Structure 1
């Protein structure tokens, strides 16, 4: 059996931690999700390459996951391997120019924002409060309507299974709203950001303004995946859902947030089935009212 062979090959491997039947609710901001057959942490590039080679050889499906901040995992779990990036991918290095930071894909975005503040570097203030890892932020070009991660990136390094390391300069990548042009079959390993010198007091004040706005307009502290749907061109999903009278609409423990209608929160007992039922109802109502087909921003695993 492929899964058994994969476990035998990877258990005890250097720089590799393997857990069987791991509850994914422990690894998502939704706090929802069944068990993954394997949960693997790779602490180095060589461990990652070996892990992917073994899983591919044994025909075990796999997926890369950061902090699970934009992920809904099925109640029945995932029959493949969930891979996360560990130690070697959790480093930041400041270049001699004092403004260029090379950051591992496993670095928590909040840590990077605070590190930039500590070093007196401006540019990432808008990202304060955005959950997840740098790898996830790059892959979805995280940000606001007028500021996004991709605008600060000089270089991205990826691993293409079966081929090796690839480099992308900023202009090699098509940066779009909540997406980037890096091929989906490549694993982001690190990104290089060019920031600007700034006064720490000014940087901190800007961060505090962004954070205050998030706390005022979003259900900060609630279990959610962030924005559920992408905003359509020139439109606001939150406004459309609210105008459909769906704030507070719930199925089981999943509820359209009364604070922001583009958030579906887990009130403590929600299942993935509850969340998908709310998503389907919202999409149906918005389609009937506005003729707009909402596109989910949340990623689904195990469905």
Structure 2
């Protein structure tokens, strides 16, 4: 039993790509992270189900990721299998009513936003510029301060290992700020969103305003994981960090952004240990100053 047997079994599977000792820095927006024992891309539901069964049988720990846009991977990597969703999970289907879109969890959120624009469907303008996959966006209820993807979702399809497909209507799920009440042991496969018809010019104008705001207030084009901490009720984490004089605070190649203090950026040479040290320092300073226990928005793998 183990990684070798899992690799041999997965190597012969249809719709499955598997590599050993894959550098996870290639698969995160931070461009940071050591190697995973196995990196598995499943291109169909049957491939995903069989892969998870093999990993369970061989007692290999596994985790599923999207594009790693809110993920910090340890410098030592991950002792187990990292699973991603491939071809079949990137499909789009527009409903007969012309206002609903069913999209696979592996599709890029940016592509979904552009698909909605091309069809004159409004509702996703707030998501322009948000990186990552649809599945990742659902799992963290991604959005802006006032809008989030969960409010648009009509239906979610998941896979529960060992049991099979499950369906959830919008009201079956508890949606909150940067949280989604789906069971953590289930994998999002696809979602259906309900959008509203609007003129393409109006949609494009809203998108441009949203993107301009992001470019003005966030460090675009530099490796980061987006917002590091969730905002406490009625507070801005960025403002709190800035008030503590922590803009520009750095450890090794990791630095609190001077554009938005809730972003910790990789200046090019940062290690996961550097980023973790900055996160810990900021967390401690905020607790000391305000008595607030910040909750991380970034996910940690391999720590």
TM-score range, shorter chain: over 0.9
| 1:151 alignment partner in structure 2 | 151
Q: Does 1:129 align with 2:141?
A: no
Quote the offset at 1:200 in angstroms. Answer: 0.2
Gapped runs of 5+ residues in structure 2? none
Quote the offset at 1:130 in angstroms. Answer: 0.5
| 1:54 alignment partner in structure 2 | 54
Note the 1:79-94 alignment, pairs <5 A.
79-94=79-94
Partner SS for 1:114: helix
Q: Does 1:227 align with 2:227?
A: yes
TM-score by length of 2: 1.00
Partner SS for 2:110: helix
Quote the offset at 1:145 in angstroms. Answer: 1.7
CA RMSD of aligned residues (A): 0.5
| 1:295 alignment partner in structure 2 | 295
| 2:185 alignment partner in structure 1 | 185
| 1:263 alignment partner in structure 2 | 263
Render the CA deviation track for 1:44-63: whole Å, top value 9, x for unaligned: 00000000000011110000
Quote the offset at 1:2 in angstroms. Answer: 1.1
Render the CA deviation track for 1:189-246: whole Å, top value 9, x for unaligned: 0000000000000000000000000000000111000000000011110000000000
Once residues 12 and 109 of structure 1 are traced to their aligned partners in structure 2, the CA distance between those partners, rounded to angstroms, is 31
Partner SS for 2:227: coil
| 1:201 alignment partner in structure 2 | 201
Partner SS for 1:269: coil
TM-score by length of 1: 1.00
Partner SS for 1:230: coil
| 2:160 alignment partner in structure 1 | 160
Partner SS for 1:19: strand
Render the CA deviation track for 1:23-73: whole Å, top value 9, x for unaligned: 000000000000000000000000000000000111100000000000000
Once residues 295 and 108 of structure 2 are traced to their aligned partners in structure 1, the CA distance between those partners, rounded to angstroms, is 26
Once residues 202 and 282 of structure 1 are traced to their aligned partners in structure 2, the CA distance between those partners, rounded to angstroms, is 40
Once residues 88 and 254 of structure 2 are traced to their aligned partners in structure 1, the CA distance between those partners, rounded to angstroms, is 37
Partner SS for 1:282: helix
Partner SS for 1:14: coil
Once residues 228 and 57 of structure 1 are traced to their aligned partners in structure 2, the CA distance between those partners, rounded to angstroms, is 35
Once residues 83 and 198 of structure 1 are traced to their aligned partners in structure 2, the CA distance between those partners, rounded to angstroms, is 37
Once residues 232 and 168 of structure 2 are traced to their aligned partners in structure 1, the CA distance between those partners, rounded to angstroms, is 28
Number of positions where the alignment pairs a residue of Structure 1 with one of Structure 2:
303
Note the 1:92-131 alignment, pairs <5 A.
92-131=92-131
| 2:24 alignment partner in structure 1 | 24
Once residues 68 and 56 of structure 2 are traced to their aligned partners in structure 1, the CA distance between those partners, rounded to angstroms, is 23
